[in-house]
């Protein structure tokens, strides 16, 4: 199935090593549910301003996963990071003020705990905000449940437990697969990661019991 506006999922999350397991899990779940993850990391064009890249991806994505769990004070400068809430705002703005397909946008918002967002970004009350507790398998379940509501009529996605089990299998063997293609599993580019995920999915199709 080719990538399209309808099946593109913009992932708005931190990219640091601590968040990496969650990022990989969310990207894996999006693919395993038959959708396409999109990220600011997919474009390597230094001439393009970062916010322009993000706006382009948001325009091309009907769906999105926003993780605002990293909204916390930085230990060095005592300021919160606001990239993720900003990008969530752009997505909500595109839905509110855009025309045509942009009106059909849908998003899920993750935080570490339920209702924590009310203390720093209460205006988003009423959005679909879920807690992953920093657990990749919980993030997978929540992404699956969100995407299950966005599938075409008659499509049933595998359950969250099944997807989590497949992700664990993928993650366990990832270092060995990386050795085969001569890359460091801790330094994967977004392109490397997504191609490794798609390669795994092709080698383990769900319908044959993979």
Partner 1 sequence: MAKEVLRTVQPAHKSDRITVAQAKRAWLKVEAESRNGGSNTRGKSKPASTGRAKKS
- Applying CB under 8 A, the residues found at the interface with partner 1 are 14-17, 19-20, 23, 41-44, 70, 74, 76-77, 79, 81, 173, 176-178, 180-181, 183, 187-193, 195-196, 198-200, 202-204
Q: DSSP letter at 73?
A: B
Which helix (H) or strand (E) segment holds residue 12: the answer is: strand 8-12
Q: Minimum distance between the CB of residue 167 and partner 1, rounded to whole angstroms?
A: 14
CA distance 166 to 153: 25
105 or 166, CB closer to partner 1?
166
Q: Which residues have a Cβ under 8 Å from the Cβ of 24 and sit 6 or more positions away?
A: 136, 171, 193
74 or 161, CB closer to partner 1?
74
149 or 195, CB closer to partner 1?
195
| Exposure of 122 in the CB half-sphere (CA atoms within 13 A) | 2
Nearest to 161 by CA among 129, 134, 194, 137: 137
Q: Minimum distance between the CB of residue 136 and partner 1, rounded to whole angstroms?
A: 15
Q: Minimum distance between the CB of residue 126 and partner 1, rounded to whole angstroms?
A: 28
Q: Dihedral, CA atoms, 146, 195, 87, 132, nearest 10 degrees?
A: 40
CA distance 114 to 136: 16
Q: Minimum distance between the CB of residue 171 and partner 1, rounded to whole angstroms?
A: 13
50 or 104, CB closer to partner 1?
50
Q: Minimum distance between the CB of residue 144 and partner 1, rounded to whole angstroms?
A: 22
CA distance 16 to 42: 16
105 or 143, CB closer to partner 1?
143
């Amino acid at each position: 199935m080719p990538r399209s506006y309808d099946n593109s999922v913009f992932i708005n999350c931190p990219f640091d090593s601590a968040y990496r397991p969650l990022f990989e899990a969310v990207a894996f779940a999006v693919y395993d549910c038959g959708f396409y993850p999109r990220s600011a990391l997919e474009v390597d064009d230094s001439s393009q301003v970062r916010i322009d890249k993000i706006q382009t991806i948001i325009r091309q994505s009907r769906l999105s996963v926003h993780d605002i769990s990293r909204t916390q004070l930085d230990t060095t400068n005592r300021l919160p990071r606001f990239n993720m809430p900003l990008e969530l705002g752009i997505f909500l703005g595109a839905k509110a003020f855009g025309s045509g397909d942009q009106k059909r946008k849908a998003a899920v918002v993750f935080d570490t705990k339920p209702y924590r967002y009310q203390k720093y970004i209460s205006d988003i009350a009423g959005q679909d905000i879920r807690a992953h507790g920093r657990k990749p398998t919980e993030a997978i379940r929540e992404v699956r449940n969100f995407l299950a509501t966005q599938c075409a009529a008659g499509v049933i996605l595998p359950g969250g437990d099944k997807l989590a089990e497949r992700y664990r299998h993928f993650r366990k063997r990832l270092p060995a697969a990386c050795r085969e293609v001569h890359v460091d599993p801790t330094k994967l580019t977004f392109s490397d990661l997504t191609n490794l995920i798609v390669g795994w999915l092709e080698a383990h199709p769900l319908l044959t019991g993979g």
